[in-house]
Chains A and B, each alone.
Chain A
């Protein structure tokens, strides 16, 4: 499970570097998100632009990652590919997330990252 994080002043970005977010790695993803975001700022942006395929297990893990953040922090999504966006749209889970068309648009008004780190799970 490859995830990259970048820390900004007011939020952090977690980029999923996996081709598939599916049943085979859903639990690992949720655990990794718990570790990476335990001291996260109020906004966490999940960059899914590398993810080509997401199934219902992957969807559940993204919802779980959001719930793990608790009531005071939010998980926002960015860079959904067509196939990934379709799963969120069909299940109407697109309405519980703020979804940005791309990471660039999510970051448009923000400064540069202060640090970047790669994590292997």
Chain B
């Protein structure tokens, strides 16, 4: 399998792990345009997992929300910085680790991502704040660490377990 390099990326590697499981590593400057390119590369790279349409859209949505958060919050003041993404297929789904060198999370804790009340009047409905709700809703085992000047976010997306793996 081959992944097209992301334009402007510093490094992009892909390798197959033990037991024919998929493992991806991407490093790229975190901009909105690059997030789009990275997601396209990731979804192509995960093709060997043979995810269902529903699982595939879940992975793309979660990774989009996480990468958008880094772009819009962690690197808000410092300008675009590098982001490093590790994805590894396991028995319990897709394990993900996202590392950036931007600002830390407020209170050293990822937001809980509570949902606004849909019964409130329209003019009071928020237009943001859904990202962390979706991340929390669609992931398991989410942990966040601030190490030196890096943010390390790890989580698992429970997809693809029921799909039999075939040797390509």
Binding site for B on A (CB under 8 A): 20, 22-24, 53, 55-57, 59-61, 63-64, 66-67, 71, 82-83, 86-87, 90-93, 95-96
Which stretch, B16-24, B104-112, B127-135, B141-149, touches the partner chain A? B127-135
| Of A23, A63, A91, the contact of B64 (CB 8 Å cutoff) | A23
Q: Smallest Cβ distance from B46 to chain A, in angstroms? A: 15
Question: Is there an interface contact between B130 and A60, defined as CB atoms closer than 8 Å?
Answer: yes
Interface residues in B111-160 (C-beta closer than 8 Å to A):
115, 118-119, 122-123, 125-131, 133-134, 137-138
Residues of chain B within 8 A of A93, CB atoms compared = 118, 125, 130
Binding site for A on B (CB under 8 A): 32-33, 35-36, 53-54, 57-58, 60-61, 64-65, 68, 71-72, 115, 118-119, 122-123, 125-131, 133-134, 137-138
Taking A23-B72, A61-B127, A91-B134 as contacts, is the C-beta distance between A55 and B65 under 8 angstroms?
yes
| Count, A-B residue pairs, CB within 8 A | 83
Q: How far is the CA of A60 from the CA of B131 in the complex (A)?
A: 10
| Of A24, A61, A64, the contact of B35 (CB 8 Å cutoff) | A24
Question: Is there an interface contact between B127 and A87, defined as CB atoms closer than 8 Å?
Answer: no
Residues of chain A within 8 A of B137, CB atoms compared = 90
Taking A60-B130, A83-B61 as contacts, is the C-beta distance between A24 and B118 under 8 angstroms?
no
Q: How far is the CA of A24 from the CA of B134 in the complex (A)?
A: 18
Question: Is there an interface contact between A24 and B36, defined as CB atoms closer than 8 Å?
Answer: yes
Q: Smallest Cβ distance from A74 to chain B, in angstroms? A: 9
Question: Is there an interface contact between A67 and B123, defined as CB atoms closer than 8 Å?
Answer: yes
Question: Is there an interface contact between A95 and B118, defined as CB atoms closer than 8 Å?
Answer: yes
Taking A83-B61, A87-B61, A95-B118 as contacts, is the C-beta distance between A59 and B130 under 8 angstroms?
yes
